[in-house]
Structure 1
């Protein structure tokens, strides 16, 4: 299993790692700063610098469901490093930081909409959450409520809750279709002070002020009780 350095520090831009395995167009490391696709958040892209100075472009990162290893995907035909080789892994920081801001903004929106989450997706230009809602919320009121929490610059903290504590507090889980992974003893959580607290494995900013102002885009009807709310950066 790959050690996930980004879980404790989302601001790590690079790390030194050892190649544990290679398969097809994937490179597996003993540890990584690259976030794998999951929870609606895209996987990281970036570069590997090899011991001979050669640079490999990593197009995407996904997680092997069976082994827990992170598969750093490169273009077909790319010469791969040797197992045991030491490399420097560096993420595309501007892209990651944009996704961190978006992800945290969605947590704030989740706290302002009184409905269970039925789906979601995080993007660079637009992100969205789907809610189990009978009525469409007012776009301006929702945007004002979210932007107020952003302006307040509230701290965002990473912590953990035990499996048993989560089972005793099922209301912490806002998603209807996807439950956080359990069985390891603890589940990672994200807390935005006085705003939101829920299990989440994604990467986030340290304070809401880093997000910057947002606006609400389309609110789409995706079923009898399903409303899709799109969010954009205001700038």
Structure 2
């Protein structure tokens, strides 16, 4: 079993030890050390990375895992021409401290959030996942609920930040087995032996084998982003520490810039934005009505220019403008309101040819078959079909075949 130096001092960044065993897995070397500060992946917390130095050489630690026997293995990336340390050789290790400290902030912050969730909702927290950008926990809520309203999420966040500000001392230790039943653990341990307890200011107490901060205030800040149902549970997305601070700075900068552009204070931004969006929607509706009116005004001219077949049927073939597309169906209906009319309409827009073919009710022509014969993709009812093409060939084919209806 490897000596877990990170249990003895989670803030220590460098250490000296000895190489005890080397394995090769899929062509990659893995090294076991007598003792290590490198935390192995587990409990939702990612592994540490860093460097190992020995005999004038340096190797990168790119992954850390622990086996069932408690041996911690370090995946090594060697520089070209470098060699591995010999068994028993002294090795100097150094962890990537910014990465470790970030994980400690996320992990400790999660403990505080989970306890607040339990106190305010009775929810039981399952797996933690510390992602590269966002962290999540899954929560089983009473009565199989899978949602929490914004008010409750806000209360959880407020309580968590209050506990951080109270700056409780964080103590991680291995209590005697007979003392465990008397401890106010938030949930039962998942192991039976060597149970390590994390106590955060007497507020939060749970069994945990991760790395933690020494005081609650070192978490700095927690921010709940949102929550959503996930596999019968509630999944909570959050940030802690410097991640939360960066998120706040990003959001504040964006809000300040938007507020400046709208000539309001940041706190007035939601109301002003709602007003602007309403004004834009009203303007779009007014513009749409004007464009529709303009499109429909073309109907008399389209009928006047229609191709008149030998039996008196009229075929309207028209390539309309892109601005006519929203009113395309309305134009077609106006045309076929006349007797014995076939309307073949096309609107080229954004590199596609949008087709709409329709006929009067007093005609017996299957336009569904007709549009397919042009090579266009689409279909519909015998009297009214839509289609589209990536080029003009189907539209040109429709115009060529139209006189032969």
TM-score normalised by L of structure 1: 0.89
Superposed counterparts of 1:152-167, under 5 Å: 152-166=166-180
User: 1 or 2, which has the higher helix percentage?
Assistant: 2
Maintained 8 Å contact 2:19/2:31? yes
Of the candidates 33, 36, 39, which is equivalent to residue 35 of structure 1?
39
Of the candidates 223, 230, 234, which is equivalent to residue 237 of structure 2?
230
- The superposition leaves residues 121-168 of structure 1 with CA deviations (integer Å, 9 ceiling, x where unpaired) of 1235321211101141522222111111112221111122233443x3
Find the counterpart in structure 2 of residue 136 from structure 1.
Answer: 148
Deviation, structure 1 residue 10: 0.5
What is the alpha-carbon distance in structure 2 between the residues aligned to residue 86 and residue 72 of structure 1?
Answer: 15
Maintained 8 Å contact 2:167/2:201? no
Maintained 8 Å contact 2:115/2:186? no
1:174 aligns with 2:187: yes
Find the counterpart in structure 2 of residue 82 from structure 1.
Answer: 86
Deviation, structure 1 residue 173: 5.6
Deviation, structure 1 residue 171: 7.0
Task: Please state whether the residue corresponding to 1:149 is helix, strand or coil.
Answer: helix
Find the counterpart in structure 2 of residue 10 from structure 1.
Answer: 10
Task: Please state whether the residue corresponding to 1:128 is helix, strand or coil.
Answer: strand
Task: Please state whether the residue corresponding to 2:48 is helix, strand or coil.
Answer: coil
Maintained 8 Å contact 1:143/1:214? yes
**Closer, same or farther: CA 163–124 of 1 in aligned 2, 3 Å:** farther
195-204 or 138-147: which moved more?
138-147
What is the alpha-carbon distance in structure 2 between the residues aligned to residue 107 and residue 89 of structure 1?
Answer: 29
Superposed counterparts of 1:2-151, under 5 Å: 2-24=2-24, 25-50=29-54, 52-65=55-68, 67-75=69-77, 79-113=83-117, 114-133=122-141, 134=145, 135-136=147-148, 138-151=152-165
**Closer, same or farther: CA 124–97 of 1 in aligned 2, 3 Å:** farther
- The superposition leaves residues 85-108 of structure 1 with CA deviations (integer Å, 9 ceiling, x where unpaired) of 101011101100110011000000
What is the alpha-carbon distance in structure 2 between the residues aligned to residue 59 and residue 37 of structure 1?
Answer: 12
What is the alpha-carbon distance in structure 2 between the residues aligned to residue 75 and residue 48 of structure 1?
Answer: 10
Gaps of 5+ in 1: none
Q: Which has the higher contact order (CA 8 A, sep 6+)?
A: 1
What is the alpha-carbon distance in structure 1 between the residues aligned to residue 7 and residue 139 of structure 2?
Answer: 27
Deviation, structure 1 residue 170: 9.2
Task: Please state whether the residue corresponding to 1:187 is helix, strand or coil.
Answer: coil
Gaps of 5+ in 2: 246-405
Q: Radius of gyration: which is bigger?
A: 2
Maintained 8 Å contact 1:60/1:73? yes
What is the alpha-carbon distance in structure 2 between the residues aligned to residue 223 and residue 123 of structure 1?
Answer: 19
Maintained 8 Å contact 2:186/2:205? no
- The superposition leaves residues 192-232 of structure 1 with CA deviations (integer Å, 9 ceiling, x where unpaired) of 113101111110011111111121012010133x1011111
Deviation, structure 1 residue 19: 0.4
User: 1 or 2, which has the higher strand percentage?
Assistant: 1
